[in-house]
Structures are given as structure tokens and as C-alpha cells.
Structure 1
Amino acid sequence: MGEINCDILVIGGGNAALCAAISAKENGADVVMLESSPKAWRGGNSQHTRNLRSMHYGPTDVLTDTYSEDEFFEDIYKVTKGQTNEEFARYVIKNTPEVVKWAKSHGVRFQGSFGGTLQLGRTNAFFLGGGKSLVNSYYKEAKKMGIKVLYEHEALSLDIQKEYIGVKVKDHANAQILNFKADACVIASGGFESNLDKLQEAWGKPAKNFLIRGTKFNQGKMLFALKDAGAKIIGDPTQGHMVAIDARAPKYDGGIASRVDCVSLGIVVNKEAKRFYDEGEDFWPKRYAIWGRLVASQEDQIGYSITDHKVLKRYMPPLFEPVVANSLDELADKMGLDAAALRKTVDEYNAGVVEGKFDHTVLDDCHTEGLEVNKTHWAQKIDTPPFYCYPLRPGVTFTYLGVKVTKEAAVVMENGEVCKNLFAAGEIMAGNILSQGYCAGFGMSIGSVFGRIAGREAAKSREQK
């Protein structure tokens, strides 16, 4: 059993961990990173991302118009139904413009402002080449700066001491256990969304039907190690970023392409062919994250997004082709639904449509009236064959159960003591801000802001000894 001493140990290999490692190195510390995956799968969930949400007062080279601090916060307040820490949320929001500049200074490239059906060009800065490119850029920078990255090194347990942080690590490549002793440590190893046993503990039997949008390596080992070591754990284990994705997606790593974006343009029914929620509640980037939980609450955790030919070109096509049929009866047969029940649902929906000026770029006046579940915007009759259907499953992105931290990213213990040499960033502490709901790109904002802070403060903690 070997022992390795280091200045700063960063546990994790995604965006937050990379930001922490680079930040710590910038502030004069030697840094070792532990990535539990093989090199080919490095980057955690960050490799599947596309953008980060950023405030700005006026157009930039990557963002259009204006997106103020207050509007940004209102979006977070709305999706969390007011269950957010305003001080922490605004702290992240205010730091997002600087994060974009900092990312550029370390090799990350952004594409020009994004247009199209997602309506995110004003609020979100998109990475040129996506999350994989961002991750690769940061790893290239880390190598240039002399940061040591150890792949297939899985952190297992923590020993939190005032003078050092001890971490037991499994080196999978060499089948050995190593003991790291760090002056300070940053934990940025994600949530527990890939740990199927822990998901089932929280959700019960429905978890068996969940798909994991991201990496299979986010097992939550460090989250539960923090708990065992006496850190204060906050949040609800059933809360997280869960979206409706194509039921045909793989169990792990389906990524952003498995998301189904046409929900607001049609209707969604359950296995009884009944609608169960307002598909037109708000713009898709603000409301897409509620649909995973909605589908999870249905029998067998299955849903069906149904549209007709009128809207075929109005949404971003997902990974899989839709199931296509020339009649509703044919569609029902292909999807294993009761044909009479589906016809009844569609007929009632069509009868309730109040036609207006359809415009998916605004909260238009196309709605339904008189239905048990009304659709408030973008309601059009489903009457133009062929008809299209995407089967839906809950797709877990990341969980909100996490460790409590200060605004300096320092881990807080159950007894209220603040660790001077242990910090956390990214998914593992996102629950300090997000208790439920999600806004596109905000996870990357949290990880980037707190990653930089955690790395800086870890480096500073050494100087103060």
C-alpha cells in the first residue's frame, strides 16, 4: 500500500474539477487530479454538455441582447419554485461573465450566438465543439501547466484532519490501493446518479426504469464518504436534474442527443393514452427539466410524445427517428397503446383547441379550454398525418443531494465547523443552490464558478499554514 504526498488533491475529472485544478495551479500550488474513468471516458457529465448560462448587459461575441442578474435569478427562482438560496444563486450569477472570459483565457472556444428553436442565444454561451471540446481544452491546459492527472484512480474514503486530508484510492489499472496525503483537497466528483442501488434506495422500484444521461462513473463514493466523515449533507435524494429522454436511449451516456425536444409542440400521454400535464406551460429551455419527474410519476415510468406533420421542422431532432404512422390507430398499434383510448384523448384535445396565432418563439395565444388538463400555449390540433411519436423515459442527469459549503467552497461539518483544507465544487455541492427544477446551462455555471473558487481557496489554505 503506497503513500503519496501532494499540495492539492483534486478528486474528479469534469468541468468543476478542471477549473479547480487550473485555478489552484494559477495560485501557486502543485496539483494532482484523480479521474476514476479511463482516459477515453474522462470528463464526467461535462463531456455531454453544450453551454453555460451567463448574465450580460449588452451583446457580446457569444451572446445576444441583454440578460440581467435579476432576470437570471427570476428564472432560477421560478424553476425551483422559490426553493433556492438567493445569496448563493446571485453569487454564481454575478461571477458568470468573468467565468466566460477565464475559460477563453485557458483555451476554451465559444461559438457565435446561437439561434433556432431552443431560444438560448440570449442566455447561454455555447462551447465550440460541445462539452467534449471544453474538457479537452482544459486537459490540454492542465498538461501545459504541469498538473498531474491520474486516470482510473477511484477515491474511496476520506480522513479529514486539520493538518491534512487523507484519501484512500483504488488504482484500477494496477490493482492496488494508494493512500494520498494532501495539504488541501477539492472534491468535484459529481453526484450519485449512476449508482443504481442508491437511486433505488431513494426512489424505490421506479428507479429500475430510469436511464442515466451521463457517465457511469458518478457513483457518489465521495458524497457518501463525506457523510461518513461527518460532513453536513443537504438536499433530497430524490431531487435532481431529470429530463424526459427517448426510451430507446442506452442505460448510460445517452447524453444531450437523447433528449426529446418536441414536447411543447404536441401532447404527451401515459401508457393509458391519457394526457397528464400542460405541455405548453413555458418555453422548453425553462421547463424541459420537469418532464423527467413527470414521466417518473406515471405507471411503468413511460410516456409518449405525439405530434403531427405541421411541426416536424420546428424542433431539434433527437438521437432516434420518431415512430411514424399515417393514422392514430396505426400509431397506437406501433406503440402498444389502446387505439380507442388514444383516439378519445386526441379528439377531446382537438375539440378544446382555441386557435390563435401560432408562434413557438413567444408565449402565444394558442391554448385549450374545457379540458381536465389544459395546454396554455402552442396548442394546435393534431390532425395532419403522418403522426409522430417518441417514447419517453426519465433521464437522470445529476442529483441534488450534496455537501454543504460556504461561499468560499469550504466544506461544512455536521457540527457547524468549517473545514480549512477541504473544498467542494460542481454537482456534489449544487444542492446548496438547486433544490428542485433546472435551467439549461446552470450546472456548468455553478461548476465553473465554484471550481475556480475552490481551487483558489485550496491554494490559499496552504499559504496560511
Structure 2
Amino acid sequence: MLLLEASPREWRGGNSQHTRNLRCMHDAPQDVLVDAYPEEEFWQDLLKVTGGNTDERLARLVIRASSTCRDWMRRHGVRFQPSLAGTLHLSRTNAFFMGGGKALVNAYYRSAENLGVDIRYDSPVDRLEIQDGRFVAACVGRERIEARACVLAAGGFESNREWLREAWGQNERGEWPADNFIIRGTRFNQGVLLKHMTAQGADIIGDPTQAHCVAIDARAPLYDGGIVTRVDAVSLGVMVNRDAVRFYDEGEDFWPKRYAIWGRLVALQPGQIGYCIIDSKAVGRFMPPVFPGVKAGTLPELARKLELDEATFMRTLNDYNAACRVGSFDHTVLDDCHTEGLTPPKTHWARPIDQAPFYGYALRPGVTFTYLGLKTDARARVHFGGEPSDNLFVAGEMMAGNVLGRGYTAGVGMSIGTAFGRIAGTQAARAALKEDAHAIA
């Protein structure tokens, strides 16, 4: 068995190195998971964030697989721990990897090596030989590598800035939004095989503008900033755009169910930038980001430091503060703190921003992975003209759009990757053994 990895060894594993947890169905408390998170609740959570843009059969396959995968993962060296302080609402739904995504990736690679898998780094596959929907060979530059079966797990196209630019186009303000995107994950997901498979006639699913896109600190590096660049304070304050006005309900739902909509919301704002504004009451209630916020003793001072129009900023904050109807604040539930007579409203966790010091975070769209991918089925097969291949399979981000047409909820990407990685690997092994049997006969 041969694994061809596009990256050098130190960047192996794609975006899995940046993850930290897995969303898991369970009907009773299980090791690091508390209470219960039954199939129907998981499905309703997914249905809500995708707006129904999901294949229910494949989604439920993922959900059910998430309930049994942890023992398999442990056998390959993965370790789990309870949810961390500050990871709101996830102790019931998500199992955290001890050591994070890097430890997960290292465990898998160690297990693969122990099983005799030959791993080659700096070996990007740029094309496949396919005959009548069957895989024949993979090509790395001039080298041609034949095999009896193949699993494609090459990610999306989020690192291909030209493709992002083409997908998002130019907006009515004459801007090219993708020029201001930051890539949270690997720089090696260029979409080369995705584009190649499209040219080969593979069936494609998904919208190229839909992605796991988070509002992250504008000071984040262009690639591989990972989880620490996220700013989780949005639901505790207000978000304003470059014109110093609010543009969406910050308290719509729990943060793990809504954090991944904010990148797209910011992408639609002028200059593709937004500003999260909080006061000292919010400090300590969210996971601290890697970069400190801009700090000020007064709101007018904060507006000036963020280079926002002071008069408009103060009108926005004063209108919001006056509209707050504070009841029993509790950020662990959908509380009764809300605004009245304000557009857009803030439906939960609405408290006046009035206690100094004040903080502001400039945020940009941070793309984790794109949802355009290969259409597949419950056996992870690649399809050509509606017909499944019998020896070419797909897993991970390269097929996640079958389940995630849009939206995101924390940890579901790893649920999809784990479920379909196992399916694709099992099906590829069966296809290879079948080829062996035919050769012997």
C-alpha cells in the first residue's frame, strides 16, 4: 500500500492537523462525553446549519458512524480528553483529541507505518489515468504508479487563490472579495485533482462559494494559522462593519452552531472586514485568542483606534445599548437577554456594552475548506455520468459537500472525514482483493 502526500513531512495530514475534536452521536454518557446526543438531535443540528442542503442518507450514515468510531481510533493510537474550559457547550457533543490535531495526525501516520504502508512526502499527484470509469494509475510528475484501487483524499481548493477569486468573482462595489480571504488551514489544498477529475467527467457536487469560513483575526498569517486565530467573542458583544454599523444577529444561536457563518457574513461586507466589540464583562467567558484585542478606556477612543467613523460608531453602540432588555444572563443557555426595536436584533445574550475597558478585534474571512467536491454514495465511490467506479473512491474534504451543502457545526468535518475515510479504505481494500482473485483465476 502506498500513500502519496503532497506536503513535506512536517506539514503532513492536511487540515486534520488543525482540528481538535470530533462531533459524536451517543445515547448515554460515554468516556469523555456527558449526557446524551442522540441521532435525531445531531441530524436536526446538521439540518439547521445546512438549511436542508444535505444528502440525508449520507448524513445519517456519518452520524451513526460517529457513535462507534472512537474505539477504532484508539486502536490506532488516538487519545481523547474532556472538553477544555472555554469550549462552550461541547462537552456533550464533541470528543476532544488529546494533543489536538497534530497528535491525531501523528498517531495515524505511526499506525500506517507499523502496518507497512509506504509513505512518500513531497509527492503531489497531478493527474490520474482512468479508463471507462476505472482507476488505472496515478501520476506524480513524470512518474506513473499503477494500482488496483485508489482513494482520493486531496482536500478542497481553498489554498488556490486564483480559483477562489474566480469562484467569488467581483462584487457590486468593484471588489474581489477573495483577495481579502485568509486560509486557516493547509497551503497544499490547491484543488489540482478536483479540477482534473472534473475534466475527466467525474460527477461534481456543491457550490464553489460555499465553505467552512470563519471570521478570524485580521492579523492571522496567510496560511496555517489554525484554531488560535479564531475570535470566539462575537456572541458576547456586537459586530460592526467598516461603516461602523451592525449587520447580523450576534445572538442567533450557540457559538459552536454559528461560528462558521461569520466568515461568509464578513466576506459580504465592504472591504471584507468586520469588528467585534466587547466590554470587560465578556472577558474570561470565551477562549482567549492568540492576538490581544485593541483596548480603550472609552468607546469613542476605541472607534478612533479601530479607524472607524466615531459618530456612526457611537450611534450604533448607543442604539444597541438602549435596545437591550437584560433578563437572566447565562451564556450556557439560550437566555432571555435580547434587544427590542433594533434591526438587526440580538436575540440572546444582549447586554449593554458599557463597562470599561473596551476591546475591539478586526476580523477577516478565514477559509478552512471548500465544499465543492466529488459526488459519492454510501460506498464512497466516485461517479462518472451517474455510474459508480468499482475501484476509485473518495474521502474527506474532497467529498464533504455531499453532507455539507452550506453551513457548519463544530466537529462535523472530522465526523465526515472519519466515517468516509474508513468506508473508502475498506472498499478500496475489497476492490484490490477482488482484482487479486481475478488475476489468480
Q: Judge same fold: TM > 0.5, yes or no.
A: yes
Q: Which of 424, 437, 440 is the matching residue for 2:407?
A: 437
- Secondary structure at 2:366's aligned position in 1? strand
| Matched-pair contact (CA < 8 Å) for 2:185–2:226 | yes
Q: Superposition pairs for residues 290-305 of structure 1, below 5 Å?
A: 290-305=261-276
Q: Secondary structure at the match of 1:412?
A: strand
Residues 37-91 of structure 1, C-alpha deviation per residue, up to 9 Å, x if partnerless?
1101111110000001000011111111100000000000000011111111001
Determine the C-alpha separation between the residues in 2 that align with 1:137 and 1:327. Answer: 49
Q: Which amino acid aligns with 1:356?
A: G
| Map of 2:49 onto structure 1 | 79
Q: Tell me which amino acid in the other structure corresponds to 2:143.
A: L
Rounded Cα–Cα distance in structure 2 between residues aligned with 1:112 and 1:63: 7
Distance in 2, matches of 1:417 and 1:138, equals: 32
Moved over 6 A (4+): none
Q: Aligned to 1:153, what secondary structure does the other structure show?
A: coil
Query: Is 1:194 aligned to 2:165, yes or no?
Result: no
Q: CA deviation at 1:165?
A: 2.2
C-alpha distance in structure 1 between counterparts of 2:358 and 2:386, whole Å: 57
Q: Which amino acid aligns with 2:307?
A: G
Counterpart in 2 of 1:50?
20
CA contact (8 A) 1:159 1:229 kept: no
Select the residue among 245, 255, 265 that pairs with 2:216: 245
Deviation at 1:115, TM superposition (A): 5.0
Contact 1:35–1:152 at 8 Å: present in 2 too?
A: yes
Separation in structure 2 between the aligned mates of residue 439 and residue 83 of structure 1, nearest angstrom: 14
Which shifted more, 329-338 or 419-428? 329-338
- Structure 1: tracts of 5 or more residues without a match: 1-30, 171-176
Is residue 165–residue 422 contact of structure 1 (8 Å, CA) maintained in 2?
no
Q: How much has 1:97 moved relative to structure 2?
A: 1.9
| SS of match in other structure, 1:375 | coil
**2:42 maps to amino acid:** F
CA shift digits 1:337-365 (9 cap, x unpaired): 01111111000000100110100000000
Shift of 1:382: 0.5
Residue 273 (structure 2) pairs with residue 309 (structure 1): no
Q: What residue identity is the alignment partner of 2:419?
A: V
Alpha-carbon distance in structure 2 between the residues aligned to 1:248 and 1:115: 25
CA distance in 2, matches of 1:308, 1:41: 38
Alpha-carbon offset, residue 419 of structure 1: 0.3
Q: What is aligned with 2:11?
A: 41
Tell me how far apart the structure 2 counterparts of residues 333 and 367 of structure 1 sit (CA, whole Å): 28
Give the whole-Å Cα distance in 2 for the aligned partners of 1:117 and 1:381.
24
Note if contact 1:271-1:303 (Cα within 8 Å) is conserved in structure 2.
yes
Task: Between 107-116 and 39-48, report the one with greater CA deviation.
Answer: 107-116
Tell me how far 1:305 sits from its aligned partner: 0.1
Name the CA distance, whole Å, in 1 between partners of 2:194 and 2:83.
36
Structure-2 residue corresponding to 1:22: none
Q: 1:380 aligns with which of 333, 351, 371?
A: 351
Per-residue Cα deviation, 1:379-424 (whole angstroms, up to 9, x for no partner): 00001111001100000000000001111001011x2121001000
Alpha-carbon distance in structure 1 between the residues aligned to 2:276 and 2:157: 28
Which of 79, 92, 105 aligns to 1:135? It is 105
The two structures, once aligned, show a CA RMSD in angstroms of: 1.0
- Which range moved further: 286-295 or 111-120? 111-120
Equivalent position SS for 1:201: helix
Whether the aligned pair in 2 keeps the contact of 1:270 and 1:304 (CA below 8 Å) is: yes
Alignment of 1:338 onto 2:303: no
Among 55, 58, 63, the residue aligned to 1:88: 58
> What is the aligned partner in structure 2 of residue 63 from structure 1?
33
2:298 equivalent in structure 1: 327
What secondary structure sits across from 2:126 in the alignment? strand
Contact 2:241 2:275 (8 Å CA) reproduced: yes
SS at match of 2:125: strand
Aligned match of 1:420 in 370, 390, 414?
A: 390
Out of 123, 127, 141, the residue aligned to residue 153 of structure 1 is: 123
Runs of at least 5 residues in structure 2 that lack an aligned partner in the other structure: 170-175, 436-441
Decide whether aligned partners of structure 1 residues 120 and 411 sit closer, same or farther in structure 2, where only a CA change above 3 A counts: same
2:218 paired with 1:254: no
- C-alpha distance in 2 between matches for 1:144 and 1:117: 34
CA distance, structure 1, for counterparts of residue 340 and residue 389 of structure 2: 56
CA shift at 1:191, angstroms?
0.3
Provide the rounded CA distance (Å) in 1 between the counterparts of 2:428 and 2:416.
18
- Aligned match for 2:81, one of 111, 114, 132: 111
Q: Counterpart amino acid of 1:108?
A: V
Give the % identical residues. Answer: 59
Alignment-derived partner of residue 284 in structure 1: 255
Q: Deviations over 1:415-452 (max 9, x none)?
A: 21210010000000001111000011101110111001
Cα distance in 2, alignment partners of residues 114 and 75 from structure 1: 22
Counterpart AA for 2:28: G
Q: Secondary structure at the match of 1:456?
A: helix
Counterpart contact for 2:128–2:135, Cα < 8 Å? no
Q: Secondary structure at the match of 2:148?
A: strand
Name the residue aligned to 1:225: 196
Residue 161 of structure 1: how far off its partner (Å): 2.5
